[in-house]
A = this chain, B = another copy of it.
């Protein structure tokens, strides 16, 4: 059974995020003065073939920890989204 998975990789709190800081500095010039605390991470989607939802989650967390994140500076959050959309081979929800 196929499951669409979303892995969010984000910097641990306290790790400097120059990319986020740059976005934040650019916002007032565009008229957005109400935005703060910008942090930039990665959103990785894939489709996993597993027996059931817990098995899919376990394998996705293993992939996230071993391949997608640097655990020294990054943490991961895995969301199993259910079956991939009918049209897409990429599991990105069309």
Residues of A that sit less than 8 Å from B by CB: 6, 8-11, 13, 20, 23-24, 26-27, 30, 32, 34-50, 59, 62-63, 66-68, 84, 87-92, 94
Contacts and interface: CB of A to CB of B under 8 A. Distances in A.
Given A37-B91, A38-B44, A38-B46, A66 B30 contact: yes
Interface of A is mostly: mixed
Contact of A44 (B40, B46, B50, B92): B40
Nearest to A5: B35
B34 A50 contact: yes
A90 B13 CA distance: 8
A12 B62 CA distance: 27
Interface-central residue, A36, A37, A41, A66, by most chain B CB under 10 Å: A37
Given A10-B92, A63-B27, A67-B27, A46 B35 contact: yes
